Amino acid sequence: MTFSADLFAGRTIVVTGGTSGIGAASAHGFAALGARVLSCGLGASKAPAMPGIENHEVDVLVPGALEAFLASVEAIDVLVNCTGVSRDRGEWSKAVFDEVMAINLTSVMDCCRLARPRMQVGSAMVNIASMYSTFGAADRPAYAASKGAIVQLTKSLAQEYAQAGIRVNAVAPGWIVTPLSRGLFADEAASGPILQRIPAGRWGVSDEVADAIIFLASDAARYVTGACLPVDGGYLTS
């Protein structure tokens, strides 16, 4: 194992968007290390089951849903914000653009704001940015904009919460095989050039992003805050 099996024993981890993809991998990773994991998102009843994980159905677009969920949690040691969507070229319409920003950015701020009173010295937050935080995307303007904003939000939260002993960091996944990206990977004409640009020579998997999240949430990163860690096989270097 990469980490000590009891690394998060006795700690409570909240993972939003934890019912699939990177969120689910993170929930499983923390649970395997002894944590009590409260996962929320869409499709909770179909999320993979594992001892130590409680899945809750929460739609961040429903007014009051996040407040109700977090009100049921007495204390939070780690908050991981994995909620996110991409609507591709549909994002050029105002309604879809606004929806993507509400899910990918506003709900993250809401979670951090609501979780803050339940966190103590030594707690940590980890947000999910993206390689699109670095460059734009003609086919997903809202996704790129929201993820760029996540990096700046993370820095702002890190400055504000440092005085309370709470660290805030982000990871920026590259081309990771998830339900959100499965269609792209199946398109060889589109995915071939992408693969050629990845120095590591392969796509990433959700567990590899989860490991980076776990590191940033752990005491091994106790002097790291306001950072955004790329997990992309070197894609941004090429």
Question: Cα separation of 58 and 45, whole Å?
Answer: 11
Q: Which of the residues 143, 161, 223, 235 is marked catalytic?
A: 143
To 5 degrees, how large is the angle CA 147–CA 222–CA 159? 50
Q: How far apart are CA 58 and CA 55, in angstroms?
A: 9
Q: How many CB atoms lie within 10 A of CB 222?
A: 11
C-alpha count within 13 angstroms, C-beta hemisphere, residue 174: 22
Residue count of the chain, please give it: 238
| Residue 84: φ, ψ to 5° | -175, 150
Distance CA 28, CA 47 (A): 11
Q: Please report the sign of the dihedral spanned by the C-alpha atoms of residue 141, residue 143, residue 145, residue 236.
A: negative
Active site residue 223: no
Hey, which residues are catalytic here? 143
